[in-house]
Chain A
Amino acid sequence: MTFSPADGESLSEEALLAAYGAGDPAAARLLADRLTPLAWRVALRLLGDAAEAEDVAQEAMLRLWRMAPDWEPGRARVSTWLYRVTANLATDRIRARRETGDAAAAEAAVDPAPSAGQSMLDRERVAALKEALAALPERQRTAVVLRHLEGLANPEIAEIMGIGVEAVESLTARGKRTLAARLSERKEDLGYVDGS
């Protein structure tokens, strides 16, 4: 069985992965097109470094290809699995940075070019948020990124992080409090109105 690009719109990731596991090369390309952006985006948001995000996304997808023949349908969503692997790989890199004292270099990493329509205030806000996120403990950072930048629901975040929903709520609440405190320090530059 082979799939055309038009099929990629209608087929689930699980169906495409099963087809890849059965040796279908067309499914491979469709999955790469659909899932690579997800892995790369979340890696970039967690790491704040474009080059590292590419490495992590490629490694996460590599693990997906290797796991495909053993995939058990109905056990989890492919995207959930990929979020988990990507977040774990990114967390490993963040820890390695801290162990090698390379945090300053990572924070100074060059981001991809901002989009053309981005206002100056937006750019400053994005840069400030990135800096504040980088200072959060890993689990708080992961929870905040998945909840507020990826837009996932708490139960899915709980599954990705292997914790309970209440723990997710606690992590995001604490993370947001820390972010708010850090960003309010620069409220005049960033249009942040201290609501306390």
Chain B
Amino acid sequence: MSTDRDGVTQEDLQLDAFFTAARRADARLPAALVDRVAADAARLLPPPPRASRGRRLPLGWLRELGGWPAAAGFVAASIAGLVIGVYAPDAVLQFDPTATPGYDLTDLAPGYGFADLEG
């Protein structure tokens, strides 16, 4: 068996002529076959996935409030309030919003001459 520099044998070259002839001789695909295959495909076509909207819980209000992150924050704040109420009830009971003393602007900025602004 003779071999050239690329390692291609004379045998390869001879066989290539046969392979090339076979590739060129490709017969025509029967059109009826494609139709039968397409008919099988239509018969076995999986049903489209059902729209999941109907199965969802009615949670539109939750989305309006900010979705699950907002709900998680709300629940965490509620639990924190409950814990404070149970373990430190005095802090809650002593809190009286009506007892909050009133403030005047001068209490907040005593060095500022508000009287001068009155014209």
Q: Which residues of A contact B (CB under 8 A)?
A: 20-25, 28-29, 31-33, 36-37, 40-41, 44-45, 50, 54, 57-58, 61-62, 65-66, 68-69, 111-115, 117-118, 121-123, 125-126, 128-130, 148-149, 176-177, 179-180, 183-184, 190-193, 195-196
Contacts and interface: CB of A to CB of B under 8 A. Distances in A.
- Majority SS of interface residues in chain B? helix
Given A32-B34, A57-B37, A195 B10 contact: yes
A195 B9 contact: yes
Nearest to B3: A195
A23 B9 contact: no
Interface residues of B, number: 36
Contacts of B21: 118, 121-122, 125-126, 129
Interface of B: 1-2, 9-15, 17-19, 21-30, 33-34, 36-38, 40-42, 44-49
Contacts of B49: 22-23
A118 B26 contact: no
A149 B46 CA distance: 35
Contact of A195 (B1, B24, B33, B34): B1
